[in-house]
Amino acid sequence: MKVYISIDTEGISGIVAWEQVMPGTAEYETGMELVLGELNAAIEGAISAGATELVVNDAHAAMRNFNPSRLAGNAEYVSGRHKPLYMMQGLDSTFDAALLVGYHGSAGTSSALSHTYNPEIIYEARLNGQVTGEAGINALVAQAYGVPVVLVTGDAQTAEELRRFVPQVITVQTKVSISRFAASNLHPETVRQRIHSAAAKALRSAAGADRHPISVPARLELAFMTEDMAETATWISGVHRTASRVARLEDEDPLDLYRRFVAVLRLTQSLVSR
């Protein structure tokens, strides 16, 4: 069984501040230890359910947050910036299942450290009319390759958002968000045990999981922080401005839609005030 894991950080138990997840701060090393613990729990749970090949994509910030030698299960490690498939780089149709670990709620919610890809660009994202976070957007890539997303870990908001698009996904709640910068966190060992069990359970049922849960043609509506971002997004073919700060992308092919979304992020990044 070949298993794909996209690892983020803000949904990890104990993570409540940017200083814990951004390199160069005193708390970063401790933060990444917490992330690695939950990641390895997912890997080991997958192995217990029969996984023989694992690929981990580092999906946070500059995407080089771990020492590869510390990954469990001899997992392959995809790292570095400017990946064409961004948070889902490395995924293809050869995988049997995808796990999303350490994910968080969407921009505008009270989920701890909530944002949607880039908090300086995206005010809100809607997929087929429903508010979505990164998990829902990333599920487009999995659907394009016919790979079921069978597990997501994070707070309750994260789980709720993904279930709108992948109703049967198994979830592990790692903490209860109090605000964007506070949470009641389960003990790391408790969370790791739950992730281990949930990953194993999810993979045992992966063969029967829905591989195409998102209705197509899929429509992605992006509300930007500024009007000029929405206008600039229309420089990309297939992107249409529908309101002063809103642009719409739609495609029959989920992968083409996701690629266009990534192009929008890259282009509008140039407009972020410094």
Beta partners for residue 170, in sequence order: 151
| Confidence at residue 152, expressed as pLDDT on a 0 to 100 scale | 98
pTM equals 0.97
Q: Residue 266 has what pLDDT?
A: 95
Which amino acid type is present at position 10?
Answer: E
d(CA 117, CA 184): 24
How many CA atoms within 13 Å lie on the side-chain side of 16? 16
Q: What pLDDT does 47 receive?
A: 98
Tokens 């809607």 appear where?
A: 126
CA 74 to chain centroid, in Å, comes to: 22
Residue 188 tokens read as 């790391």
pLDDT tens track of the chain, all 274 residues?
999 999 999 999 999 999 999 999 999 999 999 999 999 999 999 999 999 999 999 999 999 999 999 999 999 999 999 999 999 999 999 999 999 999 999 999 999 999 999 999 999 999 999 999 999 999 999 999 999 999 999 999 999 999 999 999 999 999 999 999 999 999 999 999 999 999 999 999 999 999 999 999 999 999 999 999 999 999 999 999 999 999 999 999 999 999 999 999 999 999 996 5
150 and 202 in contact (C-beta within 8 Å)?
A: yes
pLDDT at 264: 98
pLDDT at residue 274, rounded to an integer: 56
> What b/e readout covers 170-198, taking b as 16+ CB neighbours within 10 angstroms?
bbbbbbebeebeebebbebeebbebbbeb
Tokens 């149709």 found at: 93
Helices 156-163, 134-144: axis angle to 10 degrees equals 40
| CATH no. of 2-109+135-208 | 3.40.50.10780
Helices 254-268, 134-144: axis angle to 10 degrees equals: 140
Residue extents of the structural domains in the chain: 2-109+135-208
Predicted local confidence at residue 200, as pLDDT: 98
Query: Contacts from 16-21 at CB under 8 Å and sequence distance 24+?
Result: 16/112, 16/113, 16/181, 16/182, 16/183, 16/185, 17/113, 17/181, 18/113, 21/60, 21/61, 21/113
Adjacent-strand bridge partners of 243: 246
